[in-house]
């Protein structure tokens, strides 16, 4: 029991400290034995034996031992390395109704915008912003609070993230 709990806690804490941007598998498998192989872009995984079958869940993590249960999720980061390159302006911040987004079209002719609240709920899913002089997002129907605006370049892997407040 003590060994299983130690293994579960180690997995949860190590997953919490790993960070990535983009997509990743959020749920992994724990088993007594098994193997994973990748060839030609396909991945095959198997496990042998299920010494313990249990599910441990918390606010943000679920640990199920003995079963493959991958779940694709998106990780949102507040790291903003590309803001200077794109000359992004987001205003007014804070806002009551509408958020204006300006960016330089020298690097990217258009950007995709997604908005998340602090609970991780997606408020806007990949809206195309093609007006570098000023695209407007209507956030008047959202609850007051802090939101994360994620801007992605469709033609590259570049991403910029801006926090804003809805009054």
CA 96 – CA 140 distance, rounded (Å): 7
pLDDT for 23-82, tens place per residue?
Answer: 444 445 556 677 777 888 777 677 776 655 566 666 666 665 555 555 545 555 555 445
CA 122 – CA 114 distance, rounded (Å): 7
pLDDT for 103-120, tens place per residue?
Answer: 877 767 788 999 999 888
Domains of the chain: 2-75 (no CATH), 83-166 (2.60.40.10)
**Tokens standing for residue 152:** 């992605």
Is the distance from CB of 54 to CB of 67 less than 8 angstroms? Answer: no
Strand, helix or coil at 125?
Answer: strand
């Amino acid at each position: 029991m003590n060994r299983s709990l130690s293994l579960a806690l180690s997995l949860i804490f190590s997953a919490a400290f790993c960070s990535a941007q983009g997509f990743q598998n959020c749920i992994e498998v724990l088993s007594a034995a098994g193997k994973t192989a990748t060839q030609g872009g396909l991945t095959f995984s198997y496990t042998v034996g299920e010494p313990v079958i249990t599910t441990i869940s918390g606010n943000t993590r679920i640990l199920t031992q003995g079963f493959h249960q991958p779940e694709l999720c998106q990780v949102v980061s507040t790291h903003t390395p590309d803001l200077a390159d794109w000359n992004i302006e987001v205003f007014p911040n804070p806002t009551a109704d509408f958020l204006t987004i300006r960016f330089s079209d020298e690097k990217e002719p258009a950007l995709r915008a997604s908005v998340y609240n602090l609970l991780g709920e997606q408020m806007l899913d990949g809206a195309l912003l093609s007006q570098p002089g000023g695209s407007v997002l209507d956030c008047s129907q959202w609850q007051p609070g802090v939101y994360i605006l994620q801007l992605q370049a469709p033609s590259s892997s570049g991403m910029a993230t801006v926090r804003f407040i809805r009054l």
